[in-house]
Amino acid sequence: MQHSLKWILSASCVAVLSGCASTTADSNIEPQQFINDAEQDMAVTVEKAGRAEWIYSNFITEDTAALASEAGQMYTEKAVHYASAAARIDTSTLTPAERRKLDILKRALTLPAPTDPDKSQRMAQLGTELNGLYGKGRFCLSEDKCLSQPQLSSIMASSRDPEQLKQVWQGWREIAKPMRPLFEEQVALANEGAQSLGYDNVGELWRSKYDMPAEQFPQQLDGLWNEVKPLYEALHCYVRGELNAEYGNDVVPLNSPIPAHLLGNMWAQQWGDIYPVVAPANMPGPGYDLTQLLAEHNYDEKKMVQQAEAFFTSMGFEPLPQTFWERSLFVEPQDRDVVCHASAWDLDNEDDIRIKMCIRKNGEDFKVIHHELGHNIYQRAYKNQPFLFKDSANDGFHEAIGDVISLSITPDYLQQIGLIEQVPSAESDIGLLLRQALDKVAFLPFGLMIDQWRWKVFSGEITPENYNQAWWDLRQQYQGVMAPVERSEADFDPGAKYHVPGSVPYTRYFLAHILQFQFYQALCEEAGNTGPIHRCSIYNSKEAGAKLNTMLEMGLSQPWPQALAAVTGSEQMSGQALLNYFAPLQQWLDQQNQAANRQCGW
């Protein structure tokens, strides 16, 4: 996850507007000067707010919360000011780049605060409190054993005891109950802020950030989802059948949604950790256990990060700066509360890039580290762009770049870095693809439904009286999963997912899971790959690195279709590359489901 304070921080942000009150937009303002002033002012403000937020996320106390809230309020109020002013400027004499900068200013905020200073301050407090509730969240299995989210997630990944999984699943969601009234208040204030900027609600503001009319964006998403949905449905059908064989009809009924606690992940968003349960008995698996390999080769947390850095340098990118190693967080501290959710940070919009992550020494986090460094490499690539263009072409691009690198963690790559001696034969490909699909394909509907829920919350279609019911209705509709125990409106299960209390838009992750395969297919071709795409790795390809860097350096300076075309040659997002990647698996899944006479759907 990229933590781009320029656009995300408003969720937890916000001192009284000081430096920009004189920059009032009216008919006499000189647009170019306004843009220059805004860029210089916001660059300084973002850095101050970012540093305060970094300290808070790494040292959660009442004092750091107050400092982050104050710095964030300054950012949000300035951003609201500039957004309002930008909306009133005559753009008829401006260059395309200047008009683009004004558009970016208008839609820069994630949660715009109301113009009333007291309400703005309250918005900041709410964001900080919600983040703190998540970061400090613990579930106590016993009096002397209280576990953080990463520790609980390890149980979810490894346990095969349905009752223990149910206990941990339910216990983590207790931390979200106090968030409910705070979230409701935050939604009301953010909608007021969005309306002051000319949007009907926050959801419309979020959908306006994709170089197309806001009302057209959901249609684009629907088209992409319908393109890949048959693959997901085949995977769901197969996994449910295998879980039924493992746990029986009482735990996993056939023809019903899958109980969410049995999929190896706290949120049932990725299912890779249940591969041993659903792997076909009569077929070779991947042939290796990445977690075990890391242990055998003495990979500690820092060595895992160093190897991920080596991936990028092999493609021609410069090594990470020394400050990255001095300032990043790799290991969960035992003496304080931190926000453990993995994130990549760009503190000064220049070279102060870092990651914050409570690394677990396992295969999953090895891939996550590669992903997070992808963000950092992107951030550094566009550092020479003007401030307002220092971001990805759209938010899905940032997530996709990290995932492109994760896709390259193939047996060929593992052999090249000495973790395995031999690349498994083609007989193992179905096992490898199934393991990959349990993460990549299983994630697709989850990546889509979170913002479907939030957009309906922002529009008022979902009211506070049915927050939780609507959440589970959408999870069943899109994912075909259900809660393992009865839920009510006393619960607030959306808050158990970091991105909801953190106010991080989530559609970017769905887009990233589409875009990464488009990028990957094109970069593999650039690297000279002639075999199956799922066996390709762009490790050591300077040609692929150069092509990728051309797009990364563009930042947000051009509409995303042009950035997409710089790598793929096409300006259209499409799920076809993903379907190409998993084509052998989809054929196999259909055969398995048909042979077992499974009734797919839920």
342 has catalytic annotation: yes
Two tokens, residue 196: 């002051």
Distances (CA, A) of 287 to 12, 21, 428: 45, 63, 7
341 has catalytic annotation: yes
Statement: residue 6 has pLDDT above 80? no
Distances (CA, A) of 449 to 38, 55, 154, 292, 600: 35, 32, 25, 34, 21
Statement: residue 24 has pLDDT above 70? no
**How many residues in total does the chain contain?**
602
Two tokens, residue 218: 């959901």
Point out the catalytic residue in the list 236, 261, 370, 371.
371
**Predicted pLDDT of residue 3:** 59
CA distance 219 to 217: 5
DSSP 349-398: SSS-EEEE----SSHHHHHHHHHHHHHHHHHHHTTTS-GGG-S-SSHHHH
Q: Residues 584, 586, 588, CA angle at the centre, nearest 5°?
A: 70
509 has catalytic annotation: yes
CA 9 to chain centre: 15
261 has catalytic annotation: no
Point out the catalytic residue in the list 81, 499, 513, 534.
499
CA distance 208 to 226: 22
546 has catalytic annotation: no
Two tokens, residue 213: 């009319």
**Predicted pLDDT of residue 108:** 83
For residue 586, the surrounding DSSP H or E stretch is: helix 583-595
Statement: residue 525 has pLDDT above 50? yes
pLDDT digits (tens, 9 = 90+) for 349-386: 899 999 999 999 999 899 999 999 999 999 999 999 99
**Predicted pLDDT of residue 416:** 95
**Predicted pLDDT of residue 476:** 98
As beta bridge partners, residue 353 has 346
Give the pLDDT band (50/70/90) at residue 2. Answer: low
Nearest to 192 by CA among 458, 391, 450: 458
For 148-198, what is the HEC assignment?
A: CHHHHHHHHHHCCCHHHHHHHHHHHHHHHCCHHHHHHHHHHHHHHHHHHCC
pLDDT digits (tens, 9 = 90+) for 288-298: 889 999 999 99
| Helix axes of 217-247 and 507-526: crossing angle, nearest 10 degrees | 90
pLDDT-wise least confident of 112-121, 308-317, 584-593: 112-121
499 has catalytic annotation: yes
Q: What is the mean pLDDT of residues 255-275?
A: 96
Distances (CA, A) of 69 to 430, 503, 602: 50, 15, 44
398 has catalytic annotation: no
| Helix axes of 507-526 and 542-554: crossing angle, nearest 10 degrees | 140
Q: Are 429 and 402 in contact (CB under 8 A)?
A: no
Statement: residue 170 has pLDDT above 50? yes
**Predicted pLDDT of residue 402:** 86
pTM: 0.87
For residue 591, the surrounding DSSP H or E stretch is: helix 583-595
Distances (CA, A) of 304 to 150, 320, 363: 18, 14, 10
The residue ranges of every structural domain in the chain are: 2-133+178-207, 290-327+360-423+513-571
Point out the catalytic residue in the list 341, 370, 398, 534.
341
Statement: residue 337 has pLDDT above 90? no
Helices then strands, counting H and E runs in the chain, come out as: 24, 7
Q: Look up tokens 């200047």; give the residue.
A: 98
Point out the catalytic residue in the list 399, 400, 442, 512.
399
Point out the catalytic residue in the list 509, 520, 539, 581.
509
525 has catalytic annotation: no
Mean pLDDT taken over the chain: 91
**Predicted pLDDT of residue 501:** 96
Point out the catalytic residue in the list 375, 398, 513, 534.
375
Point out the catalytic residue in the list 3, 113, 372, 442.
372
Q: What is the mean pLDDT of residues 246-261?
A: 96
Say whether 265 sits in a helix, a strand or coil.
coil
Q: Are 575 and 228 in contact (CB under 8 A)?
A: yes
Whole-number percent of the chain with pLDDT over 70: 95
